[in-house]
Structure 1
Amino acid sequence: MGLILTAGCYTGAPAQETDGEPTAGTDGGPGGVTEGGNSDSTPTSGDEPTGGTSDTGGTEIPALPESSRVPRLSHRQWENTIRDLLLLEQTTGKSSLFIGDPISGGYDNNSEKLVVSATLWTDYQRAAEEIAEQVIADPELVALLVPTEGDSDARGRGFIESFGPRAYRRPLTPEEIERHMQVFQEGVALGGSDPVLEGVRVVLQTFLQSPYFLYRVETSDVADDDGRIQLSGFEVASKLSYMLWDTMPDEELFEAAQSGGLDTIAGVEAQAARMLEDQRARDMVASFHYQTLKVDSYSKINKSADKFPEFAEPMRDMMRAETMMFVEDVVFEHEVGDVKTLLSAPYSFVNATLAPLYGAQGEFTDQLVKTDLDPSQRAGVLTQLGYLAANASSTQNDPIHRGVFLNLQILCTGLPPPPNNVPPPPPAMEGESLRELIDRHTGIGTCGEACHGYLINPLGFAMEQYDPLGRWQTMDAGKPVDATGDFNFVQGKQSFNGGAELAKIIASSDEAHRCYVSHLLEYGYARVPKLQDNAEIKRLAEGSRDGLYSIKELIVELTTSDAFRFRAPVEE
């Protein structure tokens, strides 16, 4: 794959300028949204590309943001819930046959995009029928779920009263119990070798196809004096469990909900802190970073066998594992464990295959182990092999895509979409470095300078000290690599020389912390940030920047916010 250059002229409003350069600052900016903005802060035609955000994080509105009262479970959440509801040792895998969700961009748990189409409803129905059949055919599961004492109705009622509250994640009303008893009795009337199990089968199908199972339903509707609707303890329990574990509440959460323990900030905070110690929280943190850092793109890494004979396809999985092990170590094992560490720590996880690419010294095996790297060359996840190799072609570096990634995913800088009919890159002149070629085609003085000259290229050029495999390099086209540049951050113009220096500057920038918190809120709340979220994003981002919050503490803070514990009334 050759280098792709997005050089076309910017057709929106001109950038704000100071001494001929765009300034840092839009009304929304990273980690904040403007009215009509979107989750990745990418402006539409007429918005202004800038290098940062205002010091307010965008317009701040004290009211709560509107949110769905019936967010649908994602396919992953459905699988995990079936496993835990039925006390299975592993997931069923049945969601692999579900129709995929129409989500392009953003996170895969975005409740605003998760709908039940006619096809998905059929998938749910088929899965419910198959699961119910499997349950009643398994004596061990029957013994766990269905009471053994009493007559037919007593056993059916016992099953409904014990299983139903767990399936709906709240107590059943007397009317619901009686309706499900009617369904049970209709199943018993079918006969069969065990009429009670026939009744259990049809009731189980009913539970698994109910909106109260497939959605996380919030029925609370009484507003307080401030116009906020406080969620019930059971609604908070479900919101916690699906945010932190991607599954239903455990018994301790149910007990806390029942006792009123989730009606206070302290109670929610205690449960969130407990839940973060569970392996399921590690899985959630991994999923968030996997999507934010676009680690899935590592599976497409490919290099020219002629230019890079060292490359082998198993490196893709190694690079992916390296990044995810690094993330887990930073969040859960590191003494500080904050965003700065994620973006600037000079260590990673390497093995005998990856160590030579880093120039790491020592004895290595096939196992990835935590290894200190040269701090003058490596700083955090942005100087790891996976990001660098995934944002390079099979034959040469791609500073444009490296720069775009940093703008959109790490700084949340507003970039307009590339224009249509992008012209192909010009041929390189004799002795011309890649940086010189790109500058000639898209840099300052060209029609691409608004986005490339001031935003994309400077960040991408800082990574020119790393070749397409992510190895350190000092020469390009027979010339010393030029990885110098500057960028307008909120704090002012910052100059740097190389990826490690840039990573450390980014790690201390307002933009990076606001962008990270915005991503975390979007994933944790399963919706895009709204104007009303800006004040909370700003507060948490400043605390993260100033070293007050680790990543785990940011997660806990999000669970205790008003936007998590309350919802805004929605006009019918």
Structure 2
Amino acid sequence: MNTKTLFPLVCLVMLVSAAWGHADDQYAPVQPFLNRYCVNCHGATKQKGEVRLDDMAEIDGALWSDIYDQIHDANMPPEDARQPSANERADIAGLVLQISRDEAFSISTGYRRLNRREFRNTVRDLLGLKPGIYDPASRVFKDDVDGGFDTNADELVISNELLLEYLESAEHSLRMALFLEDLTPPVTRVVDFKPGRLQGGDRRFTTNKKKSTVLRGSGQYYASEGARRVTIAGNYRITVNAAGVDRNNYGRMKFPPASGPIRMGIGTRLDSEGQQSTSNLAESFDLQDGEFKDYSVVVWLENGAYPWVGFLNGAGKPASSIRQAIRQRKVDPKEVSPKNYLGPGVEVTGFRVEGPLDPDWPPKTYRTVFQTDEMPDFGNAEVRASLIERFLTRAFRRPATEQDVKDYLEYLNRQYQQTSDWHEAFIKTFAAVMASHDFLYIKEEIGPLPPFELASRLSYFLWSTMPDTELFQLASSGRILNAEVYAAQVDRMLHDRRTDEFVRGFATQWLSLDLLGTMPPDIKDRRYAAYHKSKYEAAFRSETLHFFRHVLFENQPVGDFLDSDYVIINNTLADVYKLPFEGGSEFQRVSLPKGSVRGGLLGHGSILALTSNGVETLPVTRGHWILDELLGTPPPAPPEEVPALVPDLNGVDTPRDQLVRHRKAPACFECHKQMDPLGLALESFDVIGRHRTKYETGPKIDPSGEMFGTRFEDVTELREILRSQEDQFAKSLIVKLAEYAKGRRLNRRDLDLVDQVAAKSKADEYRFESMLRHLLMSNLMSER
């Protein structure tokens, strides 16, 4: 058996180094030039901006492109350093431009590890596991990505420990899919659990009766019997007989819900060995007080999962409320005790589980894993070889070779010799397949992508998972290389629900929404009590993702990200933004009045909160965010010798005063003169995105400033200036989309293609879906 095929220690060899050994002498003058003018600040002992230029073999295509810009535009060397002559600068700039466009020197071999999101989705699709409470990636460490997207190949390193985690996760996922203890068809069963013996939640807020249980706390309750876990994955009907009770046990003292219906939830839960239990709410129901009736929901239960019932809108800390009422002498401690809470609750008198409903045979996961509608005859050698070949082809996302099949058949036979169980041997073998580099890595060679690689590029970009059956078939026939066929696939995939993986994956990282909530305001600070109580954070994140979807799928101009006359909000955000709104919790498009401070991303609570630290706003961070995320022109990192800006906690100085002093330092002036006016314009919003006109300490906020030589008085005028930069924004967005798709920074040749996509998009008024189509149809997508 070829062990390196199954348990690789993957070593990704860069073609750059080898290429320089055969480089033409035309590039020879470049290194002496770098040594003379650049290496003093970017060499072995010192790397300003974390850039090192003393070894040309270690410079990638994106950095060559940056070097060209610096030399060609005479930005480097700095003014106080030794300068090349005009002819010398022009000659070297020309050579560097050639290098930045030369595939042999600027593009590494296309080996990229699946990130955690892609691994999760690929395992589910490969094994036929439904998206539910089981997470195939729960046993795998989170990706450690310092910058850029989680598709960046340079950031997706691997280790022996990570490989072992992949192996463990693969085997556990296979056992979730191939769950049968014996290969006999399942039958539908009905199990009535004893409603008086429900457990879970907080026992202080639970009343167990002989034939019922009253749930008064907010926890999840489930059957106490050991048989509550299902052994056959499938759809199950969960029926609970319940009513709302004890609303008025405390007379004038009311506990939640003081008004409106008592709400009951039914959900599913899965306990995993060594892992935290996971659960999902399947459906909620409004109960009638004192009127018992059946409430049912059909849910998917995985092997080992079980149902729960809960009281969704009950009191969070009833005992504390009772103690406070006693201290305030609102109730008699002889009549009311925090140790025996009898407030409103859900009384459950019946708890039934029926299933699996209409059981498939073989189960769907078996049909998906083995690609057959009949339970395979594992004892047949030809069948075993066929099963191995089919699984390898899907797992590797390319046709399995004869050597692939031979290697894994040998491994399968060895596993059978140890277990005498073909079912178990297949689980072990397929787990090894899913821990191999052929499964864990997306592999692309330099130049135009062949059919299977193109199918994977498209699928992982839009769906963050492996190609589906239709894409596989088109890749197998080679028809996916036909422009019309490919265009039809782009259209099909863009309108598939799985494209939401692109929305969440790209938008969350592009806009740094993954940082939202890392520095929330203090829960004890009354000024921001609504942030926690009304769950602003979740509403902020949803708003931005809904806005992204709207601009994309309604094919709006991408300039709407910079400035728009509408928002996508619900009642929670309408309250935060002080906007008229007649809807409820569902997000809706709402037109803005003229001159509104909202509109575009700069009015989103998510952006304003994540560019604050929960205590104070951060004008420099906000200004940097605009330059980086919106315009693609991030200023360089501050020099190490410059001290950090210390906030004035006494409120004597405004942030504008502090930044004026900070800019007096010569090393700070150039960058801060760009960032500060933008961030100070957003001082009109506090740390959780609420609009304000003055600071709490008294001074009036001055949001005026200048950008691109144009004065603005407030954030509304700033947004208008930004909207005038739609060309630059669109190009920056295309670059980010391409880097997300390709898993690497772009080189100069790529940027030439970006210009072509931008030109076509401008003719379509930069409408987002049209722009995305132009990108998908360009060589940026079809080439490494």
Q: TM-score, normalised by structure 2?
A: 0.59
Q: CA deviation at 1:428?
A: 8.8
Q: CA deviation at 1:433?
A: 4.3
Distance (whole Å) between structure 1 residues aligned to residue 416 and residue 652 of structure 2? 84
1:528 aligned residue: 745
Q: CA deviation at 1:508?
A: 3.3
Deviating more after overlay: 338-347 vs 309-318 = 309-318
Structure 2: which amino acid aligns with 1:499? V
Q: CA deviation at 1:326?
A: 1.4
2:90 aligned residue: none
Structure 2: which amino acid aligns with 1:76? R
| Residue 192 (structure 2) pairs with residue 117 (structure 1) | no
Distance (whole Å) between structure 1 residues aligned to residue 526 and residue 436 of structure 2? 58
Deviating more after overlay: 101-110 vs 545-554 = 545-554
| Residue 64 (structure 2) pairs with residue 35 (structure 1) | yes
Conserved 8 A contact 1:392-1:468: yes
| Residue 380 (structure 2) pairs with residue 159 (structure 1) | no
Q: Report which structure shows greater RCO (CA 8 Å, sep ≥6).
A: 1
| Residue 594 (structure 2) pairs with residue 565 (structure 1) | no
1:541 aligned residue: 758
Conserved 8 A contact 2:639-2:667: no
Q: 1:544 to 1:388 in 2, by over 3 A?
A: farther
Structure 2 unaligned spans of 5+: 1-37, 39-60, 80-95, 184-362
2:728 aligned residue: 511
1:203 aligned residue: 429
SS in structure 2 of the partner of residue 459 of structure 1: helix
Distance (whole Å) between structure 1 residues aligned to residue 436 and residue 654 of structure 2? 62
1:340 aligned residue: 559
Q: 1:177 to 1:431 in 2, by over 3 A?
A: closer
Equivalent residue in structure 2 for 1:87, among 118, 128, 147: 128
1:7 aligned residue: none
Q: 1:188 to 1:142 in 2, by over 3 A?
A: farther
Equivalent residue in structure 1 for 2:686, among 467, 480, 489: 467
1:216 aligned residue: 442
- Listed one character per residue, the Cα deviations across residues 154-201 of structure 1 (whole Å, up to 9, x for unaligned) are 321231232221111111223333333333333343453xx3324422
Conserved 8 A contact 1:34-1:59: no
Equivalent residue in structure 1 for 2:116, among 52, 56, 75: 75
Q: CA deviation at 1:480?
A: 5.1
Equivalent residue in structure 2 for 1:261, among 457, 479, 503: 479
Conserved 8 A contact 2:685-2:692: yes
Distance (whole Å) between structure 1 residues aligned to residue 414 and residue 775 of structure 2? 46
Q: CA deviation at 1:413?
A: 1.8
Structure 2: which amino acid aligns with 1:474? T
Structure 2: which amino acid aligns with 1:318? A
2:503 aligned residue: 285
Q: 1:311 to 1:78 in 2, by over 3 A?
A: closer
Q: 1:422 to 1:272 in 2, by over 3 A?
A: same
Structure 1 unaligned spans of 5+: 1-11, 13-31, 50-57, 221-227, 568-572
Q: CA deviation at 1:444?
A: 6.5
Conserved 8 A contact 2:124-2:136: no
Q: 1:62 to 1:417 in 2, by over 3 A?
A: closer
2:400 aligned residue: 172
Distance (whole Å) between structure 1 residues aligned to residue 682 and residue 172 of structure 2? 52
1:407 aligned residue: 627
Q: TM-score, normalised by structure 1?
A: 0.79
Conserved 8 A contact 2:681-2:715: yes
SS in structure 1 of the partner of residue 581 of structure 2: coil
Deviating more after overlay: 307-316 vs 95-104 = 307-316
Q: 1:430 to 1:467 in 2, by over 3 A?
A: closer
RMSD between superposed Cα atoms in Å: 3.3
Distance (whole Å) between structure 1 residues aligned to residue 155 and residue 167 of structure 2? 21
Distance (whole Å) between structure 1 residues aligned to residue 62 and residue 403 of structure 2? 44
SS in structure 1 of the partner of residue 589 of structure 2: strand
| Residue 492 (structure 2) pairs with residue 274 (structure 1) | yes
Q: CA deviation at 1:69?
A: 2.7
| Residue 361 (structure 2) pairs with residue 142 (structure 1) | no
2:661 aligned residue: 441
Aligned pairs for 1:385-464 (under 5 A) are 385-420=605-640, 422=643, 424-425=645-646, 427=648, 433-435=654-656, 437-443=657-663, 448-453=668-673, 455-464=674-683
Deviating more after overlay: 338-347 vs 422-431 = 422-431
Q: CA deviation at 1:94?
A: 3.6
Conserved 8 A contact 1:513-1:542: no
Aligned pairs for 1:281-320 (under 5 A) are 281-299=499-517, 300-302=519-521, 305-308=525-528, 310-312=530-532, 314-320=535-541
Q: CA deviation at 1:379?
A: 2.2
SS in structure 2 of the partner of residue 344 of structure 1: coil
Q: CA deviation at 1:440?
A: 2.9
Q: CA deviation at 1:447?
A: 5.7
2:549 aligned residue: 328
Conserved 8 A contact 1:426-1:441: no
1:550 aligned residue: 767
Q: CA deviation at 1:80?
A: 0.7
Q: CA deviation at 1:431?
A: 7.7
Conserved 8 A contact 1:72-1:111: yes
Distance (whole Å) between structure 1 residues aligned to residue 424 and residue 648 of structure 2? 73
Q: CA deviation at 1:360?
A: 0.7
- Listed one character per residue, the Cα deviations across residues 408-436 of structure 1 (whole Å, up to 9, x for unaligned) are 2211224121234525547599986443x
Structure 2: which amino acid aligns with 1:523? Y
Q: 1:349 to 1:172 in 2, by over 3 A?
A: same
1:244 aligned residue: 462
Q: CA deviation at 1:215?
A: 1.0
Distance (whole Å) between structure 2 residues aligned to residue 48 and residue 471 of structure 1? 42
Equivalent residue in structure 1 for 2:602, among 371, 376, 382: 382
Identity of aligned residues (%): 26
Structure 2: which amino acid aligns with 1:382? L
Distance (whole Å) between structure 1 residues aligned to residue 63 and residue 160 of structure 2? 35
- Listed one character per residue, the Cα deviations across residues 181-240 of structure 1 (whole Å, up to 9, x for unaligned) are 333333343453xx332442233123212221111234x6xxxxxxx7432211111111
SS in structure 2 of the partner of residue 217 of structure 1: strand
Question: Higher strand fraction: Structure 1 or Structure 2?
Answer: 2
Distance (whole Å) between structure 2 residues aligned to residue 518 and residue 48 of structure 1? 27
Structure 2: which amino acid aligns with 1:142? Y
Count of matched residue pairs:
507
Select the structure of larger CA radius of gyration.
2
Q: CA deviation at 1:119?
A: 0.7
Conserved 8 A contact 2:459-2:465: yes
SS in structure 2 of the partner of residue 105 of structure 1: coil
Conserved 8 A contact 2:128-2:177: no
Q: 1:445 to 1:545 in 2, by over 3 A?
A: farther
Conserved 8 A contact 1:397-1:464: yes
- Listed one character per residue, the Cα deviations across residues 478-497 of structure 1 (whole Å, up to 9, x for unaligned) are 56543222222xxxx33323
Conserved 8 A contact 1:290-1:296: yes
Conserved 8 A contact 1:389-1:470: yes
Distance (whole Å) between structure 2 residues aligned to residue 361 and residue 253 of structure 1? 47
Conserved 8 A contact 1:59-1:534: no
Conserved 8 A contact 2:510-2:736: yes
- Listed one character per residue, the Cα deviations across residues 130-152 of structure 1 (whole Å, up to 9, x for unaligned) are 33444443352335544546552
SS in structure 1 of the partner of residue 711 of structure 2: strand
Structure 2: which amino acid aligns with 1:102? D
